[in-house]
Amino acid sequence: MPAKAPIFSKDVFRFLRDLSRNNNKAWMDANRERYRTELVEPFRALLDCFAPAARKLNPRFPVSGRVGVNFSRINRDIRFAKDKTPYRPQMYLFFGEPGGEGGQLYVGASPDMVTCGFRIYGHQRVSPLVKFGRVRGTQHAAWIEKQRRNLGRAYESYWYSTEKGEWTKHAGWPSQPEEWKKLQGWIVRKTFAPAAAARSSFGREVCKILRGTYPLYRFAGSSDWKA
């Protein structure tokens, strides 16, 4: 069950704002203890809080707490990135089946908000999105419309394709077969202001979101989905 006391505090967002303004190794080295206590520890408490609910949804979800399995990396890989700052001023907790390309249920904090929901990316032929999600999307328009009616008012949805070699974002729900054929990423999420994320009710809301978006996770990336 979600914790009754708040897990996040204003310290989480203050640290991320400070990191965004001072994104360099010297600053991070001087603030390692803040990083541990103000960011890492709250996210580990978040994992402890939501791991039972996540495993109830899907027993195959790993909950080891390892970076790359349940947590995003704070260090940025700058070798091929346009942004050469060494750290990401965000952190994510996510749940997904081993392999990493079948989609995720996630909670993410940035300097000015928390987002929670479902996301999936993939463009290789072997990715679950291409093998399963794209095909289902062209064949099950009624199921997608049902999910849109259930979630569309409270959740933001957007998707990605490549247009003329450029990664392109599209607002709304992918609904037409032509959209699904070129879809390379899909996100359905709810956004919280820092003050809302610091309330004791935040945990209950996150569990509701994870349960509500789990059918999208299975539709877009699981081999055993059934209508």
Cβ atoms within 10 Å, residue 62 = 15
How far is the C-alpha of 78 from the C-alpha of 203, rounded, in Å?
A: 34
Task: Compute CA 14 distance to the chain's CA centroid, rounded to the nearest angstrom.
Answer: 21
b/e sequence 125-136, b meaning 16+ C-beta within 10 Å? eebbbbbbbbeb
Q: For residue 168, what are the β-bridge partners? A: 161
pTM of structure: 0.92
Give residue-wise pLDDT tens across range 12-70: 999 999 999 999 999 999 999 999 999 999 999 999 999 999 999 999 999 999 999 99
Residue spans of the domains in the chain: they are 10-221
**Local structure of residue 154 (DSSP, 8 states):** T
Fold (CATH) for 10-221: BirA Bifunctional Protein; domain 2 (3.30.930)
pLDDT averaged over 10-residue windows placed end to end, the chain, 227 residues: 75 97 97 97 94 94 94 88 89 89 92 97 87 95 96 96 93 96 96 93 92 96 88
